[in-house]
Structure 1
Amino acid sequence: MELLQRFEDALPRIVDDIRTLVRCESPSDDLAAVAASAELTAELGTARLGHEPERIVLDGRTHLRWRLGAGPRRVLVLCHHDTVWPVGSLATHPCEVTDGVLRGPGCFDMKTGTVMALHALATLPDTDGVTVLVTGDEELGSPSSRSLIEDEARGCDATLVLESAGPAGALKTERKGVSLYRVAAAGRAAHAGLEPERGVNASLELACQLTRVAALSRPELGTTVTPTALHAGTTTNTVPASGHFAVDVRARTAAEQERVDTVIRSLQPHLPGAQLEITGGPNRPVLEAVSSAALFERVCRIAAEQGLPTPAQVSVGGASDGNFTAGVGVPTLDGLGASGGGAHADDEHVLVGELPSRIALLAALLADLLGIPQGSVDR
């Protein structure tokens, strides 16, 4: 039986598995919900792979790891089971399939990708050397799982990230690096009507810093530096004594990420008597095109050999755990998950009809990386 036909025949079961995971809500900041989701994902993965995972609890969040076979680690398959949707979202966004479109909170980002990985691996005659890691805090920036991800990736030949695809099913061959900062200003309070001149206005200090920070953007290089959440002051008749704002930085190259970091950390107060405190820094390194180029070329060759659609590639501003694996020097290909759209939004959805070809391509890529003859996978 051809590989594609195998997944077309299995599509009802695949969709059932997706429904099972999506209907178990798992917002990252709800430890009980994440733990319940991990147990359900472990149960499903055990049924498909024939092995129980390790349950790794870090800072209260449960991550799952399957180390398949006893040989050296060769391929890391990377997923996450947490979402941005709060418990209760199913009441307004039920998980259902209508006219070939599956909807539900977290279906696109990225519970479908986890199911795809499990079904692709289940078809292989040998998975020795594959590690499957399903983390539970990706949507928070992976504060507890970053070291785990990097350690699992080191020494591997490749990392395959099952995050959702880009527009028209494109694979994500570049991801910008992310840096996050908090710029805090301390001034001196005073009565705004009686003696404002005695105060040091933290709001004015922040206004000056906002302009300086925003000017660090270089759109022509793909660098965006965006001041976001802002807070200052206490009452309407008091000169603000303190305040702060957040900064979101996205950079296409490591050099640009470093440039912005150096300047933000060197900011100096503008107003006499004001003080600044800068915290934060790079959160995710850059996934540059060089990290994915060989894998993308490989997957295009495999698609042609299998008679599957040739994937496109796209560069995106959003980051993923693939940034970490690329950051430790491991070839990384991202966006191998579901086609669809609406991540984190009311219209989050997955195109069911495209699942068989995408899982077939993933299975064929895994087989190629593991040195398994394609004919033994097709049967």
Structure 2
Amino acid sequence: MDLSTLPAHMTAALPEMLADIEALVTCESPSDDLSAVAKSAEAVARVGARRLGAAPERIVLEGRTHLRWRLGDGPSRVLLLGHHDTVWPLGTLVTRPYAVEGGVLRGPGCFDMKAGLVLAMHAAARLPDPSGVTILVTADEEIGSPSSRALIEAEAAGPVAALVLEASADGGALKTERKGVSLYGVGVAGRAAHAGLEPERGVNATVELAHQVLAVSALAAPGRGTTVTPTLMSSGVTTNTVPAAGRLAVDVRVRDAAEQDRVDAAMRALRPALDGARLEITGGPNRPPLAAEASERLFARAVAVSADLGLPPPRRAAVGGGSDGNFTAGAGTPTLDGLGAVGGGAHAEDEHVLVAELPGRAALVAALVTGLLDEARAASGELRS
């Protein structure tokens, strides 16, 4: 493949890319609505079949439809990874419709990450020989990938690299590090009593939760990049009753596995502060860290390929948010994330994609995949036809 011509080819395909993005964005897909997610999967399948010339395999797990394309013959060598669920509830299109104005594309889920799915498909469609490429599109990334994690890890076991089409970091930077994520629930069982007549007979779950909020917060280690954040909290049923039960959610982000293990052990060692109170700790590590080592060589390749394409060199970024790239890196597969759309506002009202950046991004992905396939084939002694 003549890499120098790729950006021009992708620029010529921009109207088709925009039509494909519109088809996906206008099919809303909140993670917790199984019917909506099923409809979205069909929309993604139609776009993919049109661009790739093949229908995907539909993998339904826990009621959620994940899609997988295995292109060509032979073993899987490069995994292109994305998701089609979003954080936006049904009806968001009414107040934030799909639109392209002044070179900016808007609509719920456009940046995170439906434009990235379209980039993956157009990049794969430009390959002279796509044999060995697997495209996996999951349906529950935004809620922690409960049904798709094992599928992702299994798909990551064979390829030489995983390229994640999640949205870019600020300014188009590639995501070369992601923090690991742990999610916990701290349940408190106390004892109810009348708040006015005999509060001393109760065991106040709200007060116990207050102690646990402070204990949990103290587990953070800012110098190590570890955040431990109490988030949702609830307790009690009426204003004149000593609360008998309560619950606290805790979000943990870490840079390395040792910190994830430390916090996990400390969370499970929490003890009640009030006599008569009981604690139940649920949850645990959700995503392992995507360490810099997992992306180092792929990022260097992206810099070199960008020069060959005549594109500006990409920058790198370490981010706190997790993605399914954490799972591929945790499986030992070299992983480069943030290869999707350039724009901003993920999970926010100003979510948007910069249209002018789409062709270059698609060209970069296509060139990366081409080089990785060539190296894998050479290593196995295959000759390209």
TM-score normalised by L of structure 1? 0.97
Report how many aligned residue pairs link the two structures. 372
Deviates further, 1-10 or 20-29: 1-10
In structure 2, distance between residues paired with 1:24 and 1:187: 46
Which residue of structure 1 lines up, in the alignment, with residue 33 of structure 2? 30
Q: Which amino acid aligns with 2:122?
A: H
Partner of 1:338: 341
Quote the residue 1:6 is aligned against.
9
Q: How many angstroms does 1:182 deviate by?
A: 0.6
Amino acid at match of 1:41: V
The answer to whether residue 187 in structure 2 is matched with residue 184 in structure 1 is yes
Determine if the alignment matches structure 1 residue 150 to structure 2 residue 162. no
1:329 maps to a residue whose letter is G
Alignment of 1:43-122 (within 5 A): 43-122=46-125
| CA deviation after TM superposition for structure 1 residue 237, in Å | 1.5
Q: Which moved more, 1:351-360 or 1:231-240?
A: 231-240
Q: Which amino acid aligns with 2:232?
A: A
**Deviates further, 263-272 or 194-203:** 194-203
> Separation in 1 of the partners of 2:311 and 2:198?
74
Which of these residues, 188, 195, 199, is aligned with residue 198 of structure 2? 195
CA displacement, residues 44-95 of structure 1 (integer Å, 9 cap, x when unaligned) = 1011111111001111110000011221111110011111111111111110
Q: CA deviation at 1:140?
A: 1.1
Tell me by how many angstroms 1:199 deviates.
1.2
Report the Cα offset of residue 269 of structure 1: 1.1
Q: Does 1:363 align with 2:366?
A: yes
Alignment of 1:199-278 (within 5 A): 199-278=202-281
Helix, strand or coil at the partner of 2:295: helix
Matched, 1:295 2:298: yes
Tell me, in whole angstroms, the C-alpha distance in 2 between the residues paired with 1:20 and 1:363. Answer: 22
Superposed structure 1 runs of 4+ greater than 6 Å apart: none
Q: State how far apart, in whole Å, the 2-side matches of 1:19 and 1:189 are.
A: 54
Partner of 2:381: none
SS in 1 for 2:194: coil
Offset of 1:147 from its aligned partner?
0.5
In 2: Cα distance, 1:124 partner to 1:338 partner? 20
Distance in 2 of aligned mates of 1:137 and 1:178 = 16
For residue 168 of structure 1, what is the aligned residue in structure 2? 171
Deviations 1:92-130 (A, max 9, x none): 111010000000000000000000000011111101111
Other-structure match for 2:283: 280
Q: Percent identity over the alignment?
A: 66
Separation in structure 2 between the aligned mates of residue 170 and residue 60 of structure 1, nearest angstrom: 35
Give unmatched runs, 5+ long, in structure 2.
Answer: 376-385
TM-score for both structures, normalised by structure 2: 0.95
Q: Aligned with 1:371: secondary structure?
A: helix
1:282-336 deviation per Cα after TM superposition (whole angstroms, max 9, x unaligned): 0111101011011101111111122111000000000000001111111000000
Q: Could you tell me which residue of structure 1 aligns to residue 21 of structure 2? A: 18
